Structures are given as C-alpha cells and as structure tokens.
Structure 1
C-alpha cells in the first residue's frame, strides 16, 4: 500500500478498482491484527521470562511458540475476512470518492447507499473490542512484570527494564492511535479529513 500511496500523491487523477480496494482493506486489517496479536505474545513471552525464569524453557517450547504464532495468523485471517464480508455486503451507488489516503472500512461506510447502523454494530466487537481487549491484556502483563521487579536485584531490574521498555513504547505508540481511531464515533473521526487523496471505486 505504501508504494501505491506515494504514486497516488504525485498523480492528479487517483483511481482504484473495487478489487484493489478490497485487497487494501484485507491487507490493512490482516497485517494490523497480526501485529496486535504478536505484540500480545511478546508480552506473554516477557512475562514468562522475567516472572518465571527457571520455567521459561519448559513453558515456552518451540511447539508452544509455533501454536501461538499459528493462532495469531488464524485470528488475523478471521478478523480481516469479517472486514471483507461486511464491506462486500454494502451496496455502493456513487459517487464513489473517498476523502482518505487508502481504502479502509470506515471511509467505505460513508459511501454505502443504505443504513449502516447494523454494520456499525458488527464493527464494534470486531475492531474496537480487538484493540481495547489486547491493549488491556498487554497492560496487565507489563504491570505484573514491573510489579515483580521489586524483588529483583538492581542489575536484574536494569536488564529486565532494558528488554521491556522498548516493547512498552511500541505498545503505546501502536495502541493509543488504534484505540482512538476505532473507538471514536464515525462522524467525529478526525483522520477522515487529514489527507485528501481521492479514490474512485
């Protein structure tokens, strides 16, 4: 999507086919959800490594890690498939112009020629709950990790903090915008007017 966005910013007539738009929606949510779930798995991994160091090898075996990664892939596939299913169920009757820099579910809702109330209700557990629940889970694990550091030596605390602080920064930088974008009502989402690259479906 990034090369396409760069090219489109240089062109005056930015058009995209419906199929390409659906690929963008699927890709955006597939890789976004996968990143969210992998961030949760890294929080679990750090929790086991810091809070249960003697059992780390027996708990986080290669098979367990493979199963967790497979669950992240499957969860991302289900999440993005729901996005595609909800988008394909909407009727579009024009003008199909998105005031946004890429195809996403929220801008497409504004183009639908029908009432999107039910679709918005389906969007709540699929997008908003995913962001909020995973953010709460990660916050829970990192709070436990930071609380358990009181019992470690100064060197142990420094080593644990050096491995966790970068992950905590990534979680904050990733989830704060994500929660803000997907928990705000559609009518008040400020991102819709930030970049005006028009796509015609």
Structure 2
C-alpha cells in the first residue's frame, strides 16, 4: 500500500534528498545517524510526502529511505567499478608526478580567506559541517552575500526578523535550499552571534 501511494515525483524528491544528504559511496550501516535523522526530518517536512506522517514512529520514512538508498548506492557502485580499476593501475605514477607539480596557490587563497574573515565567522564552515555536512555547501553563498565579519553577523541580528529571513532566503535561495535548511543555518548564525569571544 505504501509503495502504491508513492508517485514518480515523490520518488524523485526522495532520491534528490538522499543525493544531497548522504554519501552514496558508503554502506548504509556506516552512515552517521545524524545525517539520517536530518534526512528523515526533511522528508517529513515536505508537503508532497506528508502522507508518510500517518505511520507511527516514521517507520515508512525509514523503509523508503533504505529502499531508495540501496537502489542509488548500487548504481553508484556500478559506475565506480571501472574508475577504481583505473585508479589502482595509475596510483603509483600519479603519486610521483603529483608531488612535483603541487603549486603554492591554494595555500595563498586559504590565507587570504582567513585574513578577510573574523574569529566567529571563520568557524562558520566548521559549524555548518558539524550540524550536517549538507549545510556546508551554503558557506560560500553566505560569505558572498556579505556575511564575512563579526560586525556583519552582529548587524544581521539587529535587523528585523523579516529582514533576516529575506537575507537568508536570498543568500541560500539560489542554491535551492529547503525551509528546514534555512532555519538550521539561521539557528547556527544566531548561536554564533550569542557566543562570547
């Protein structure tokens, strides 16, 4: 009955969320529980998938996530098999040649980034990643939107709630964020603003 109610668009939504939140190269049992919980919440908050809330304890979400994950995992593994063979074959030659070609440019970029950010905002990427790794993809968008110093963070929380929501929606909206992700990012920023240096 559950599978019968699952339309093609619902399956696509679940597949998209799984691709966004889970590492398909890992076995299901090796995935962090925090990522799975975050994904379950996103599925339950989606209006198109609201029929899943009629089942107790979210077991339907568990079943669907496992089913779709295993389908996607199998596809990824099949695609990676030829690539892994090539990597094993060329591994030694790549190691020796890449050591001689390493340029110092990435290190310079990292230094410039650190110099342009301040103490709290410098830890933004770590905070986003620790909440759930899928939030880390928003770090660049947040900084590009203008939130790159403690002063900017402080100013953000002196704005009205509607203005803050607009800022976050515009900053993250280009990357097709969900409401849950925007709320999670806003919560992280608020906690960072309230911290003492």
- Give the TM-score band, short-chain normalised: under 0.3
* TM-score, structure 1 as length reference: 0.26
* TM-score, structure 2 as length reference: 0.27
Structure with more contact order per residue of length (Cα contacts < 8 Å, sep ≥ 6): 1
Q: Which has the higher helix share?
A: 2
